[in-house]
Amino acid sequence: MESEGDTVQLIPAVDLLDGSAVRLVQGDFDRRTGYGDPVALARRWVDAGARWVHVVDLDAARSGLPVNRWIVRQVVEAVAPVPVQAGGGVRGVEDVEDLLASGVTRVVMGTVAARRPSLALSMAEKFPRQVAVGIDHRHGQVAVEGWAHGASMSVADLLDRFADAPFGAVVVTAIERDGMLSGPDLDGLRAVLRTTALPVVASGGVGSAEHLRALADLEVAGRRLAGAIVGKALVEGVLEVREAMAACEPSE
């Protein structure tokens, strides 16, 4: 994850379900809002100035099957040369290879990192900095398989397993805040910054420019966040991309 100085990189999100762009509330597949063509949505973010795009195949996250991978490829082509970070349903090396071959810059692994950490480590070593660990949690406890199940471990436990691995980033999602626009989990993110030396990308809860400024100003022992994923606030028009990017500048 490249950022300019201490600026947190804004990463607009495009979540895929049944071939369309959607937003869920707290990871609940029954509480969804549709936003139409995901490729057009990604193009909209880039046309507005976004320098990264985050894509998640929610169908694949739940089933393990690459249901919407063809759409991921279309998004990559539509926004090139802007880098795309993609996840959802990444269960093995073939998934990583396929996504990287399609032009994805960084592949996010969630379920496999918690269920099969040795495999996740081997993929980080095979594709250094091109693979990220996705840690989705409810109140500090890791959730997997599209957030449907608990993994019986804490965020800190999972981070400890990957302390020296060459992952490109750790993408941390506070599920209880996702889609709520109520503010990010600042305390949880502070704990993550203390625990890992990897670049940390925050996800979940951003609903205003003030929330992004709080993320930009978050600092632990001289370390700041590398990025912030924003979804609902952008698609609902609560925030504009340029406004959000400006808010990612630290105030100090």
Does residue 136 carry a catalytic annotation? yes
What pLDDT score was predicted for residue 140? Answer: 84
Return the domain boundaries, the chain: 9-247
Largest Cα–Cα distance of the chain, in whole Å?
45
Q: Which helix (H) or strand (E) holds 94?
A: helix 93-101
Sequence-distant (≥ 6) Cβ neighbours of residue 189 within 8 angstroms = 172, 200, 202, 215, 218, 225
Cα–Cα distance measured from residue 2 to residue 4, given in angstroms and rounded to the nearest whole number:
7
Q: What pLDDT, on the 0 to 100 scale, is given for residue 2? A: 47
| Whether the Cβ atoms of residue 52 and residue 226 lie closer than 8 Å to each other | no
Q: What is the distance between the alpha carbons of residues 200 and 192, in angstroms, rounded to a whole number? A: 8
Q: Would you tell me the crossing angle of helices 186-195 and 209-217 to the nearest 10 degrees? A: 30
pLDDT at 252: 61
pLDDT of residue 153: 83
Residues in the chain where the model's pLDDT stays below 50:
2-4
From the candidates 59, 95, 136, 185, give the one annotated as an active-site residue: 136
| Angle at alpha carbon of residue 192, lines to 190 and 195, rounded to 5° | 115
pTM over 0.85: yes
Residues 6+ apart with CB under 8 A from 234: 12, 13, 45, 240, 241, 244
> What was the pLDDT predicted at 3?
45
Q: 248: exposed, middle or buried (C-beta count within 10 Å: 0-12, 13-18, 19+)?
A: buried
| Number of Cβ within a 10 Å radius of residue 149 | 13
Q: Where are the beta strands (DSSP E) in the chain?
A: 9-17, 20-25, 28-34, 53-57, 84-87, 106-109, 131-138, 141-144, 149-154, 169-174, 200-203, 219-220, 223-224, 227-230
pLDDT at 150: 58
Q: Report the candidate in 117, 47, 61, 106 with the shortest Cα–Cα distance to residue 229.
A: 106
Residue that the structure tokens 């952008």 belong to: 234
Q: State the catalytic residue, choosing from 15, 95, 178, 185.
A: 15
The pLDDT value given to residue 4: 46
Which pLDDT value is given to residue 187?
96
CA–centroid distance for 97 within its chain: 19
pLDDT in tens, 36-74: 999 999 999 999 999 999 999 999 988 889 989 999 999
Catalytic residue list contains 178: no
Four-way CATH pick for 9-247: 3.40.640.10, 3.30.360.10, 3.20.20.70, 3.40.50.10490: 3.20.20.70
User: Residue 229's beta-bridge partner residues?
Assistant: 11, 203
Q: How many CB atoms lie within 10 A of CB 81?
A: 8
What per-residue confidence (pLDDT) applies to 250?
Answer: 84
CA angle 76, 79, 83 (to 5 degrees): 70
